[in-house]
Structures are given as structure tokens and as C-alpha cells.
Amino acid sequence: MEVITIEAKAYKEIVGKLDEIARYVKKHSESQHEGWIDNHDVCKYLNVSTRTLQRLRSQKLISFSIIRGKTYYQLSEIERMLNENLIKSNPNGFQELLDNYYKNDK
């Protein structure tokens, strides 16, 4: 095992920078949800029709991706839609969607 020694001042600077990075990551990970969810799950948990989502896509009010004929939305986009009242939904619906996503993601 190799031992490396550094001055206390340098060690404290490194720890301080690591703490800054950790705060930054935590702040940004809490404010925005990562991941993709398909059309079916959005409709199921938010109780909206596929036609509603199609209308939002056609009007370019939501970003999406189509992979092999299946439409996917970012969780952050779904959250933005709810915050901007582009769709009306049960307030618990988005939380259920997140819970289901993270449960199945593990």
C-alpha cells in the first residue's frame, strides 16, 4: 500500500471542492427528473388520452422521441407540462408515475 501525504490546507481545499460538487449535483438532480417514459404509462398514470398527447406533440408543446414506432417522453417534460397546466391531472398521478419508474428502474 502506498501512502501519500499532503498539507492540511490542500486537503481542506480538496474536501471543500468535493462538497461544492456534491451540492451542485444534489441540487440539479432534485429539480429535474431524468429518464424516459412511454406513451402508455403517461396516459395510465396521468389519466390523459393518447389523443391529448398527440395534440401536444403536433402543436410542438412537448418534446418527445420515437423509437421503433413507440413514443417516449422525458420525465422532466411531463413535470413541465403539469407545472404549466398543459394537461390537467390528479396531483398524485405524477408521483405514482415516478414511484413506478424508479421501482422498475432498479
**Residue 88 pLDDT greater than 80, yes or no:** no
pLDDT at 26 over 80: no
Number of structural domains the chain divides into? 1
pLDDT per residue as tens digits for the range 29-72: 554 556 888 898 888 888 889 998 899 999 999 999 999 999 99
The answer to whether position 73 is within a domain reads yes
Residue numbers of the domain that contains 72 = 36-105
96: in domain: yes
Q: How far, in Å, CA of 43 to CA of 48, rounded?
A: 5
What pLDDT is attached to residue 9?
Answer: 95
E strands, 1-106, in order: 36-38, 65-67, 70-74
Query: Going edge to edge, which strands form the sheet with 70-74?
Result: 36-38, 70-74, 65-67
Whether residue 89 has pLDDT greater than 90: no
Residue 46 resides in a domain: yes
Residue 49 backbone zone (phi > 0: left; psi -120 to 50: alpha; other: beta): beta
pLDDT of res. 31: 47
